[in-house]
Chain A
Amino acid sequence: MNEHTNLLEIKDLTVHYVTVDGTVHAVENLNLTLPEGKTLGLVGETGAGKTTTVKAIMQILPDPPAKILTGEVIFCGEDLLKKNKKSMRKIRGKQISMIFQDPMTSLNPVITVGEQIMEVIRLHDKKISKKDAYTKACEMLELVGIKADRAGDYPHQFSGGMKQRVIIAMALACNPRLLIADEPTTALDVTIQAQVLELMRKLKAKYQTSMIMITHDLGIVAEICDYVAVMYAGEIVEYGNREQLFHRPSHPYTKGLFACIPNLMEEETTLIPIEGMTPDPTNLPTGCRFHPRCPYATEECSKTNPASKEIENGHHVKCLHI
């Protein structure tokens, strides 16, 4: 990968939540790169640390209890973690914006959608007049496939899919360089999900926005992402481009994920579940965090936490037995 084209680079990020019940090792020594104009899929199950990672990028982690212990988040050549609150505020929404999972709760129910989009625009462009901002807001709505005359409607007058479109319009209103989408379609029905994914793909092509897509659905990853990072218990266990990951999944966890989802296109198969449960993040297993559930685990796995190895160009796997 070429250093110069990386829009975002995360180095050795460690985030802990310090609570009375113990320290939650949410993210540990995480390294990640996102080339400009590409889409990265962040895959993992509940509690893997996906959301914590992107919240650390945005620096919207609740502190306390969250503590960023080490690491650098280099965005456009600058370390975001070193920025002060004010300059960070300018980056949020303008340079990096985020789409949340639940469209039902991410919009303010008492303000019209047009005004909500307008607010974001005016927040980052102090000079723009109210009227121009409103026109821009209407344009954004048209862009995501909502008629401009609905700008005066309130969120409850929209369906779930339409709300998610409004949120996308809001996130794109300032032409961000990086868009973070946290499970943007999980709350939607499949046919509506297809609409939203289609829209996101189109917009991505049009604006060349880089994107981080958090999801637990490998189907969505296959459809929209260029690079994939698989997270397990706060660590990235496998990272590679789309083809490497789908054709040559190498970490036992990634392989397990593929084996345990029913595939619509393939004939009757038996599902091979990953045994056991996701570990308790306050009490992680020693050595490789996946070893208690890993079918290939050996004595050594319970002692040494493997380092990430590059098995082919740009394909990193965190496993001793590769």
Chain B
Amino acid sequence: MEKTKDLTSSSEAGSIKKRSQVKEVWRRFCRNKQAMVGMCMLLLLIFAAIFADIIAPYDPVEQDIINRLKPPSSAHWFGTDELGRDIFSRILYGSRISLTVGLIAVGLSSIVGCALGAIAGYYGGVLDNIIMRCTDVLMAIPSILLNISIVAALGTGLQNVMIAIGISSVPAYCRIMRASLLSLKEQEFVDASRAAGASDVHIIIHHILPNSLAPLIVQATLKIGGAILSCASMSFIGLGIVPPTPEWGAMLSTGRDFLRDAPHLTAFPGMAIMFAVFAMNLMGDGLRDALDPKLKN
């Protein structure tokens, strides 16, 4: 055996433990300040959603017509809306619905989209053609129209709205996944894995997915904001959340009528959405970098 430096130093090996991938990613994630800020913001939102009952100073659906359209004050931190409801409390409660809609709709569409894109890209041929033509059809229909038709078919309700939003954003993930797969499957390390006897599923999950995560994460974090807004527009036309349930998008759209006289009606829900999207984007960027070992330091 050659006496390279490598070999002679292997005596120190006892102390070396195999670090797990999860721990490694977490370590890199923690080093990223922006990502940590994003995570704190997200934790704050989740905290608000869970403990809304305790934190909220008012009942979110309790009307107080006398104090309607009041600007922010010490009694009502974010003011009151057109029915005198406390906006701060409504935003706290609304975070429950908005976060659920955002996360579930995006989760659904990314999982379905990635799976379809992976199949299309990896196997190619007829299957690819069928899947991609279907996504083309979906993309050709304006998403709002698609949402309306799906909800009309399935019936109103939060659950169906999430499904509708999920389906309408499937094509985007499908395309991204397929594109990165097409370039990745030509890579030698995929061949190397196949030569080791790995199955297609193993290759997709262990090699191709991790390597195509970057654009997917960016897309997903951006889409969470979009999903919250789509849900709002569905609520606006009466197919989504039924009033008086507090929901950020719905608050935004009803507040629009009072934009001139009481801008706080739209400003605070808007800021809440922005806060959530911003948190997700920071998290997403951080996660993307943390998952890439090349950016270790």
- Is chain B a partner of chain A in the same complex? yes
Residues of A near any B CB (own CB < 8 A): 273, 275-276
A273 to B3, CA, bound (A): 11
Number of A-B contacts (CB under 8 A): 7
Residue of B nearest to A277 (CB): B5
Question: Is B20 an interface position by the 8 A CB rule?
Answer: no
Question: Is B4 an interface position by the 8 A CB rule?
Answer: yes
A276 to B9, CA, bound (A): 13
Residue of A nearest to B297 (CB): A21
A231 to B206, CA, bound (A): 43
A275 to B5, CA, bound (A): 8
A273 to B5, CA, bound (A): 14
Number of B residues with CB within 8 Å of any CB on chain A: 4
B291 to chain A, nearest CB (A): 22
Residues of chain A within 8 A of B3, CB atoms compared? 275
A273 to B4, CA, bound (A): 11
Chain B 1-19, CB-CB to A under 8 Å as 1, else 0, gives 0111100000000000000
A272 to chain B, nearest CB (A): 11
A-B contact pairs, 6 of them (CB 8 A): A273-B2, A275-B2, A275-B3, A275-B4, A275-B5, A276-B4
B295 to chain A, nearest CB (A): 13
B7 to chain A, nearest CB (A): 11
B162 to chain A, nearest CB (A): 45
Residues of chain B within 8 A of A273, CB atoms compared? 2
Residue of B nearest to A276 (CB): B5
A276 to B4, CA, bound (A): 6
Residue of B nearest to A273 (CB): B2
B9 to chain A, nearest CB (A): 12
Residues of chain B within 8 A of A275, CB atoms compared? 2-5
A124 to B151, CA, bound (A): 71
B294 to chain A, nearest CB (A): 14
Residue of A nearest to B4 (CB): A275
Which 7 A-B pairs rank lowest in CB-CB distance, beginning with the nearest? Answer: A276-B5, A275-B4, A276-B4, A275-B3, A275-B5, A275-B2, A273-B2
Residues of chain B within 8 A of A276, CB atoms compared? 4-5
Residues of chain A within 8 A of B2, CB atoms compared? 273, 275
Residues of chain A within 8 A of B4, CB atoms compared? 275-276
Q: Which of B2, B3, B5 has the most CB of A within 10 A?
A: B5
Residue of B nearest to A292 (CB): B5
Residues of chain A within 8 A of B5, CB atoms compared? 275-276
Residue of A nearest to B5 (CB): A276
A186 to chain B, nearest CB (A): 21
A275 to B2, CA, bound (A): 9
A107 to chain B, nearest CB (A): 25
A17 to B5, CA, bound (A): 28
A105 to B186, CA, bound (A): 22
A266 to B226, CA, bound (A): 71
Residue of A nearest to B3 (CB): A275
Residue of B nearest to A275 (CB): B4
A294 to chain B, nearest CB (A): 14
A10 to B3, CA, bound (A): 39
